[in-house]
Structure 1
């Protein structure tokens, strides 16, 4: 079983003004939630570990997880509010973001209330701002450290400066998680923010030397790359009519994990043993999945039947 750890939230888009206020369009979101639902659509057994509100928005998030057949037994329900990411567009068409998450339900995980993992857990997936805010951040980082010898640890930083603007803190979190993770997937955009003086290749080499077995870097329209200590491969981006890129990185991560599962490679030793041909096949599968998401509005991730066996 896969267990995805992180946050769930609502992206709230500001609409037109009305005589008494403004129209709002709330969309289900949160990178870890997307990964969990992406894995479920790709026919992987997956549970979601997260603090989730019992307010109306939290109930909608809960219903979405159930509809996608994600195991919800690890959710910590509370009456703390749901996190909101409010998106508006200025006169020049540039989006602006306001984040409302202090004291929200997805930050309420602590060592005292952390649920026990199912015995069938094989992979723990971590990512996004839940690792960088408290008390949930230190709780999840400790969970990764505790389970590293028993489970495969996967990590996607998914840096969100509108939540935590301190880059030094993000670097500290990312470096710790990279030292714990067997698989790190990261975007070149995040690497540019975190390590402007290093090339992606240099960062990948440093993480591999520190114990990571596989590093994958996404480069948007320039494709993707992957490294182990012994092999390297690249894959081009797949041509597609892009509607938007919402959820593309999360789809890529879910597809990486799915390919590895289907090829019996979800152990640190199996990751390290992948050759260049296998790495390229892995990247092409994940790229194709992400392209499908880009061709549709929002984080509408593909199902297994839409991808080659």
Structure 2
């Protein structure tokens, strides 16, 4: 069982003017939440570990997980509201976010909730603002420390400065995670924030030296590149008729994990031994999944039958 830990929220889009104001379109979301659903749609057994409100919005999030086949025994239902992420799109469909999440359920996951996790965990995926806000950040660290060495730990920073504006906090988490994760994926935008002026190749070298097995840097329309201790590969972006790019990075990560799982490579030793050709196959599969998501409104991730 691949366990995805982090936030679950409602992405709120402006759907147009009304006679008295504006219409809003609320959709289930949150980067880790999207990855869990993406994995299930791609045929991978996945569990979501996070805090959900007991209210109507939390129940809608839980319903979406159940309907997609995500295992829900590790959900912690809390008497707290659901985070809202207000999404604005520019002319190219690139989103900007403004979060309303202080004291909301997804941030309140305590370390004692680790007791909810399944007995067998094949891999752990963590990332986004769940790694920098408390108390869930302490829970993420406890999970990583507990599972490190027993299964692969996968990490996507997915920096959200609207939630935590202190970039030093995000850098501290990256520094802590690098010796403790086996797969590290981040966007070129996140790299520019976390390590300004550092080329992806140089960053990959640092991460591999710290003990990461597979490093991937995505560049949107510029494609993606990946490095292991024994191989490296760069692939172009998959062609897409872009509606918006909401969830594209989550789709890429879910598909990357799915390819590794299908290929028997989602294991610590295997990640460190990925050859260049294998990295290329994984990146092309993930890029194809991201392109499908970009052609849809919001974080609507593909199913396995829609990919090669």
Deviations 1:42-92 (A, max 9, x none): 0011100000001111111111111111111100001100001123589xx
Q: Which runs of 5+ in 2 are unaligned?
A: none
Deviations 1:251-300 (A, max 9, x none): 11111111111111111111111111111111111111111111222111
Deviations 1:4-45 (A, max 9, x none): 000000112245454555422211110001000000000011
Residue 190 of structure 2 aligns to a residue whose secondary structure is helix
Deviations 1:108-131 (A, max 9, x none): 111223334212211000011011
**CA-CA distance at 1:176 after TM superposition:** 1.0
**CA-CA distance at 1:209 after TM superposition:** 0.2
Does the CA-based 8 Å contact 2:31-2:128 persist in structure 1? yes
Residue 292 of structure 1 aligns to a residue whose secondary structure is helix
Measure, in 2, the Cα distance between the counterparts of 1:273 and 1:130.
30
Measure, in 2, the Cα distance between the counterparts of 1:116 and 1:238.
38
Residue aligning to 1:179: 179
Deviations 1:183-207 (A, max 9, x none): 0111001001111131111111111
Does the CA-based 8 Å contact 2:51-2:107 persist in structure 1? yes
Residue 52 of structure 1 aligns to a residue whose secondary structure is strand
Residue aligning to 2:208: 208
Measure, in 1, the Cα distance between the counterparts of 2:76 and 2:131.
17
Residue 84 of structure 2 aligns to a residue whose secondary structure is strand
Residue aligning to 1:271: 271
Q: Which moved more, 1:111-120 or 1:144-153?
A: 111-120
Does the CA-based 8 Å contact 2:73-2:117 persist in structure 1? no
Residue aligning to 1:70: 70
Question: How much is the aligned-residue C-alpha RMSD, in angstroms?
Answer: 1.8
> TM-score, normalized by length of structure 2?
0.95
Distance 1:19 1:192, change over 3 A: same
> Number of aligned pairs?
306
Distance 1:269 1:86, change over 3 A: same
Residue aligning to 2:188: 188
Measure, in 1, the Cα distance between the counterparts of 2:276 and 2:129.
32
Q: Which runs of 5+ in 1 are unaligned?
A: none
Measure, in 2, the Cα distance between the counterparts of 1:161 and 1:206.
24
Distance 1:3 1:203, change over 3 A: same
Distance 1:239 1:95, change over 3 A: closer
The within-5 A match list for 1:46-61 is: 46-61=46-61
Distance 1:21 1:221, change over 3 A: closer
Residue 212 of structure 1 aligns to a residue whose secondary structure is coil
Measure, in 2, the Cα distance between the counterparts of 1:229 and 1:167.
29
Measure, in 1, the Cα distance between the counterparts of 2:202 and 2:217.
12
Distance 1:143 1:294, change over 3 A: same
